[in-house]
């Protein structure tokens, strides 16, 4: 396996540039990773007041589109995850909310006070900002959930010589002492480490803890599964590497390159590396047995350094292989179907020196956020994501579709990234760090961090390398039809970074949507004044980063700019509904022809018809009973309506 390094490109929206890009790993590495020293990796400690003349303090807490935000904490340690964002925001049954993040209260060398920052909403207000971690030892990467009226979280301890996953829990929400324990290491015949956990609770008793983490020994790195059916008192499955994802199938996976969701007895996680398949592991019996689905198949099984990915060996792919950027989100809906999101990334390993074994080239201007959905255990819906490669057999069985890409903010038809040097380092694609939740009515909500297309005027005016990279903002999207269509991405930072109202020099990363959608969609994200991460060796100096809590009323969600639902729904009437043999489309005050496409629940078009009358009948006798969606196209404006065939 290869991990790390640089950047050329030639596709549309990509830029050619040849310079090593450094992935600075502050702690123990995955064995597939290495650190290369670079002048960027300095301990810049520029205090916030030294750049205060660039920063506006007039930041609104309530937005004109109905959202509210509040700062609930802060940190000087700015790396929250290497790839996928852990579950850090939990809404309890009584409406109280627990929020966690990796925190350091100061800039002391090595961040020795680093640990879990925690805040709690009691139904009326948040507590004061925390200034100490909840754990007794230095930890990081917390993942929180509720348990038996209390709360429980997993984090990891980097020790010497052992590295552990830690469990912290308490019986009463928002108060009391945290009880700490270590996830016991089982014995594989050699010492191994267990870090970067993801944890959620399910089971018929609501006390079954499901945990995945990065387990490694020597040069092997794998994702293991652990389970406790009594709230963490005992672990009946410990660091189990499921055979379908073991060393017989893959050469390992990196830390944080996976995401987990749990709903009752259904447990599912997605994982993948730059040189592996994208894999869904799913259990419908509370983690006893597992089924594997390959969501994106890598063309080279058991890839290793002996294979060179370049234009000579892979001319069809222009010397690169497109895969995930290892930042995943996964959600299970009310029908126990799985929905997966991840950023795309191009990889190669050519033009590397002999002493760079284990390194690879990646292309951070890769564009596109992928979505995949499961209909049943053996039925998927498929989309070609690159029409130029449809002659390749490989692409005939890649499921999923791109649902968003970097927005053309200035509307000139091109993506105006100044140069590759203007992309702050996260090791991710232009749209990444997805986080998702599914409401009780089946609506899917998604947030992600996306690069802003252009440098703003203030950045150009300052002309300072610290401000010379494209900022990332937090975007939200919604689907009301099982992922068939999506609203346009909406920038929830657009108002807070408005030059007239707020501070245009703000970076938004690491979004995390809560586990519940009620009257609001809630999320947290990390915000600071500079693009990039100091911890990862970027130019970003050590300053205080804020943890932001945002509430978006679901009644306002459809008023945000959308792609498909952008006409009044009362323009269309479908009747009878339900029906067993035909449906009528009645369109108010529209005299031109229009197109109707009918999709089934797995996204397949079953009927497509041009309609030229104000009222028209379409036969549905040829389609099976079930739920369908009709998408009506009026001169490239859309309305999607649901109907039932009985």
Q: Report d(CA 286, CA 181) in Å as an integer.
A: 23
Q: What is the pLDDT of residues 313-355, one digit of tens each?
A: 666 556 788 899 999 999 999 999 999 999 999 888 765 554 4
Both structure tokens of 557: 């969600």
Per-residue model confidence (pLDDT) at position 386? 36
Both structure tokens of 299: 């063309």
Residue 208 scores a pLDDT above 80: yes
Q: What is the pLDDT of residues 32-58, one digit of tens each?
A: 332 222 222 222 222 322 333 233 333
211 and 227 Cβ atoms separated by less than 8 Å: yes
Interacting residues of 114 by C-beta distance below 8 A, sequence separation 6+: 77, 102, 103, 104, 133, 138, 139, 140
332 and 261 Cβ atoms separated by less than 8 Å: yes
Per DSSP bridges, beta strands 637-645 and 626-634 are: antiparallel
Residue 5 scores a pLDDT above 60: no
Both structure tokens of 258: 């996976």
| CATH placement of domain 569-645 | 2.60.40.3080
3 state SS of 50: helix
Domain locations along the chain: 48-557, 569-645
Look up residue 613 and give its DSSP letter.
Answer: S
245 and 222 Cβ atoms separated by less than 8 Å: yes
pTM of the model: 0.78
Interacting residues of 432 by C-beta distance below 8 A, sequence separation 6+: 325, 327, 343, 369, 426, 448, 449, 450
Q: Give the fold, CATH level 3, of 48-557.
A: Neuraminidase (2.120.10)
3 state SS of 193: strand
Per-residue model confidence (pLDDT) at position 381? 36
Q: What is the pLDDT of residues 183-200, one digit of tens each?
A: 886 544 446 788 999 999
Residue 20 scores a pLDDT above 60: no
Q: What is the pLDDT of residues 455-493, one digit of tens each?
A: 887 888 788 888 889 999 999 999 998 888 888 899 999
Helix (H) or strand (E) holding 461: helix 457-462
Percent pLDDT > 90 in the chain is 45
Q: What is the pLDDT of residues 563-590, one digit of tens each?
A: 333 344 456 778 888 888 888 877 665 5
Both structure tokens of 379: 């039925």
Q: What residues are paired with 166 via a beta bridge?
A: 155, 182
Q: Report d(CA 368, CA 381) in Å as an integer.
A: 19
3 state SS of 397: helix
3 state SS of 556: helix
């Amino acid at each position: 396996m290869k991990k790390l390094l640089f950047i050329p490109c030639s596709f549309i929206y990509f830029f050619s540039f040849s310079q090593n890009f450094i992935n600075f790993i502050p702690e123990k590495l995955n064995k597939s990773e290495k650190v290369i020293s670079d002048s960027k990796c300095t301990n810049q400690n520029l205090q916030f007041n030294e750049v205060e003349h660039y920063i506006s303090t007039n930041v609104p807490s309530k937005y004109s589109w109905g959202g509210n935000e509040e700062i609930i904490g802060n940190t000087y340690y700015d790396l929250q995850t290497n790839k996928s964002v852990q579950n850090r925001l939990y809404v309890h049954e009584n409406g109280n909310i627990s929020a966690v993040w990796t925190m350091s209260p100061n800039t002391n060398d090595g961040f020795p006070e680093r640990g879990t920052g925690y805040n709690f909403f009691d139904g009326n207000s948040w507590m004061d900002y925390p200034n100490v971690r909840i754990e007794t030892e230095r930890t990081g990467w917390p993942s929180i959930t509720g348990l038996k009226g209390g709360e429980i979280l997993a984090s990891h301890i980097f020790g010497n010589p052992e590295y552990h996953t830690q469990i912290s829990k308490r019986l009463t929400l928002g108060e009391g002492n945290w009880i700490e324990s270590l996830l016991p290491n089982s014995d594989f015949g050699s010492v191994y480490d267990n870090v970067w956990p993801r944890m959620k609770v399910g089971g018929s008793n609501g006390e079954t803890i499901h945990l995945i983490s990065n387990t490694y020994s020597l040069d092997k790195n794998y994702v293991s599964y652990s389970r406790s059916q009594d709230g963490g008192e005992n672990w009946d499955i410990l660091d189990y590497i499921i055979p379908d994802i073991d060393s017989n199938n893959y050469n390992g996976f990196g830390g944080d390159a996976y995401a987990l969701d749990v709903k009752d007895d259904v447990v599912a996680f997605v994982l993948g590396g730059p040189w592996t398949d994208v894999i869904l592991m799913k259990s419908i019996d509370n983690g006893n047995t597992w089924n594997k689905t390959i969501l994106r198949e890598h063309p080279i099984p058991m890839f290793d350094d002996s294979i060179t990915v370049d234009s000579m060996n892979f001319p069809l792919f222009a010397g690169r292989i497109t895969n995930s950027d290892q930042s995943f989100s996964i959600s299970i809906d009310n029908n126990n179907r799985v929905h997966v999101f991840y950023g795309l990334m191009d990889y190669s390993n050519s033009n590397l020196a002999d002493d760079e074994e284990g390194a690879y080239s990646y292309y951070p201007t890769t564009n596109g956020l992928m979505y995949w959905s499961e209909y049943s255990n053996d039925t998927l819906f498929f989309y070609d994501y690159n029409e130029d490669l449809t002659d390749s057999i490989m692409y005939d069985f890649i499921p999923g579709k791109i649902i968003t890409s970097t927005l053309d903010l200035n509307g000139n038809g091109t993506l105006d990234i100044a140069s590759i040097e203007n992309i702050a380092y996260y090791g991710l694609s232009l749209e990444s760090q997805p986080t998702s939740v599914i409401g009780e009515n089946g609506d899917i909500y998604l947030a992600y961090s996306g690069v802003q297309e252009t440098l703003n005027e203030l950045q150009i005016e300052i002309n300072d390398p610290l401000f010379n990279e494209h900022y990332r903002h937090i975007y939200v999207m919604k689907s009301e039809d099982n992922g068939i269509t999506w609203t346009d991405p909406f920038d929830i930072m657009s108002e807070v970074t408005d030059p007239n109202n707020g501070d245009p020099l703000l970076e938004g990363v690491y979004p995390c949507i809560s586990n519940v959608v009620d009257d609001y969609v809630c999320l947290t994200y990390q915000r600071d004044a500079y693009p990039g991460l100091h911890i990862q060796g970027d130019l970003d100096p050590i300053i205080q980063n804020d943890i932001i809590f945002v509430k978006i009323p679901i009644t306002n969600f459809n008023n945000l700019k959308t792609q498909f639902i952008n006409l009044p729904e009362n323009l269309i009437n479908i009747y009878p509904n339900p029906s067993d043999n035909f449906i009528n489309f009645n369109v108010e005050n529209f005299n031109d022809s229009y197109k109707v496409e009918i999709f089934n629940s797995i996204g397949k078009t079953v009927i497509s018809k041009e309609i030229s009358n104000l009222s028209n009948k379409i036969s549905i006798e040829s389609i099976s009973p079930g739920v369908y969606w009709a998408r009506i196209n009026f001169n490239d404006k859309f309305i999607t309506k649901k109907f039932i065939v009985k």
